A and B are shown apart, each in its own frame.
Chain A
């Protein structure tokens, strides 16, 4: 089983739709969780951290479910500019050398 698993997609949604991605992780000792966004042929950029209490930033909401070992990302009112690959990242210990990156979920938002 992979340490971090994501549905590769693509998720095809129309503008204005709400879309959600899940990411499961296998290391129950994981302490930190993140969503990164990666545009085609570009570098990953931090979208948001995921806290135990959840985290909301505008149209984006991230949730953590420790019992079931998954994190989620909800995007409301999708924009064309949201089209990208969303990487789930889990830290199994202290320091960035312990980061495990998922393979990403591709989102395509159409007019």
Chain B
């Protein structure tokens, strides 16, 4: 069972470059999320989606864009990467938004912006 798959696992960018992180889930989950994790800070929500064709801003959305054209995929884009976006990015999904429902995370993307 694949669960939540993120690609790529590692990436190094130069300041100003763009890239897209792909998250795919095969569990037919409605809800998908993008988080970033930085040293000394808890995971912070960047953007989320409550269903195909919908997206919403989380706690730290600036500098990122997202799209959910297909239910199983949630893309995170960096149009002009900055060193402050160096982080580990995790995608997650859940069947519903019930707070007692389990969150499933992808294995993460380590992004370095030089």
- Interface residue ranges, A against B (CB under 8 Å): 4, 8, 31-32, 41-46, 49, 87, 91, 94-104
Chain B interface residues toward A at CB < 8 A: 31, 33, 35, 40-45, 48, 56, 58, 90, 92, 94, 97-103, 105-108
**A97 to B100, Cβ gap below 8 A?**
no
Q: How far is the CB of B93 from chain A (nearest CB, A)?
A: 10
Interchain CA distance A91-B45 in the complex, whole Å: 13
Q: In the complex the two chains form, is B33's CB within 8 Å of A96's CB?
A: yes
Least Cβ–Cβ distance between B41 and chain A, in angstroms: 6
Whether A103 contacts B58 by the Cβ 8 Å rule is no
Which chain B residue has the least Cβ–Cβ distance from A104? B42
The secondary-structure label for the interface of chain B is loop
- Which residue of A is nearest B48, CB measured? A97
Contacts A43-B108, A44-B90, A94-B97 given: A99-B45 contact, CB under 8 Å? yes
Looking at the assembled complex, report how far the CB atom of A39 sits from the nearest CB atom of chain B, in whole angstroms.
Answer: 11
Most buried by B among A32, A49, A102, A103: A103
| B41: A residues at CB distance < 8 A | 103
B45 and A42 contact, CB distance less than 8 A = no
Task: Note all chain A residues with C-beta closer than 8 A to B58.
Answer: 97
Complex Cα–Cα for A42 and B44 (A): 16
Given A95-B97, A96-B33, A45–B105 Cβ distance below 8 Å?
yes
Tell me whether B103 and A46 are in contact (CB under 8 A).
yes
Cα A27 to Cα B100 with chains together (Å): 18
B108 CB contacts on chain A under 8 angstroms: 41-43
